[in-house]
Amino acid sequence: MKDLPRRKFIKGAAVLSGAAICGVATANNAKAAETLPEDFVPPPMPWGYQELDPEYVRKLGHLGYYLEECGGGSFWAIMTALKEKIGYPYTLVPLPTQEEFIEHLEAKKRGEKPKHYQGIMQHGVGGVADYGSLCGAANGAAAAVMFAFPAADMKPIVQRIMRYYETEAFPNAKSNQYAVNDEFLVPKYKSQKSLPRSASHSVLCHVSVAKWCEKSGYASGSKERSERCARITGDTAAMAVTLLNAHLKGNLETVFPLKLSEDTVSCRVCHFKGKKYEAGQFARGSMECASCHNDMTPHMAENKLKTAYGTDVGTWAGAAVVGTAAGIGTHAVAGRFSKEEPHDEE
């Protein structure tokens, strides 16, 4: 591979990022590509990180949602802040500029046909293509994390994004305040009200939306629900950046101690990704178990189980209690969680 002189490269990259923003830019893209040497190869990831302002990213995330929904929005917000701060190689990512996003919304406001934009991670919308699974705000933010730090650092950061998503009463109070005070970047809001807040205890779009709708009385197709998700996109991107900042300074655990719910901790005493099938290691993950499992009947049968910690238990249900009572607490289990073999089949 030939080394590309940096100056020549930046020139090409600027043309490329300028052209790629245009929805009908296929021809332009081809032209831009011509200005890059044929054997040009983007640098390998990760591309590095510098401290970002979470409040700025919260606003970008909110704006991003208006064009690329939750998945595209949170990814765009973090990547845009990185591009502005670090420049190359983040200039290589085809990200429309903030001004272009705002012009798009202004055009809509004027009743004109706005330019089309398409975003990376936009498929995250509505829990992946409206399927209601993982919320796009978390998904898009996680994708951006992969650009910033080595893959080995990804899990502790992304797990915290997920945990934040489960526990935060969305939309965050700051987001509500920005909307009411008109501090967000959009020219026209879907709703400027301070919206009801609720924690979903789930990373699923389906659960998050349904619980919020139930609490607020707004339908899932309402402007208010959409505005809520715009704020959540900002909130999640802002937290991701808070975590990235903390990781940069080496104080992730202080800034956001990874505390799983008490239920999850008790279940994970036995149910974690492991090799002993009979001991319960036929499940994996750390979502809040209790958001879906509440029938513990299978655990009521008598058994001769001694827990891994040598405690005798009469029933599986007893074991779950022993798990927590014996002080196999959040930290032991969370510790095991993050120590799972990183390159095990996922």
The binding site for ligand HEC (CB under 6 A) comprises 204, 263-264, 266-271, 279-280, 283, 285-289, 291-293, 298-299, 305, 307, 316, 319-320, 323
* Smaller CB separation from ligand HEC, 169 or 308: 308
CB of 231 to ligand HEC, least distance (A): 24
CB of 300 to ligand HEC, least distance (A): 10
CB of 322 to ligand HEC, least distance (A): 7
| Cβ atoms within 10 Å, residue 292 | 10
CB of 128 to ligand HEC, least distance (A): 14
CB of 335 to ligand HEC, least distance (A): 15
* Smaller CB separation from ligand HEC, 29 or 324: 324
Residue showing tokens 């500029």? 97
CB of 281 to ligand HEC, least distance (A): 9
* Smaller CB separation from ligand HEC, 120 or 209: 209
* Smaller CB separation from ligand HEC, 257 or 285: 285
Find the farthest-apart pair of alpha carbons in the chain and give their distance in angstroms, rounded: 73
* Smaller CB separation from ligand HEC, 166 or 227: 166
* Smaller CB separation from ligand HEC, 256 or 272: 272
CB of 305 to ligand HEC, least distance (A): 6
* Smaller CB separation from ligand HEC, 91 or 266: 266
From the list 135, 176, 182, the residue with the least C-alpha distance to 287 is 135
Please tell me whether the peptide bond between 89 and the residue prior to it is cis, using omega within 30 degrees of 0. yes
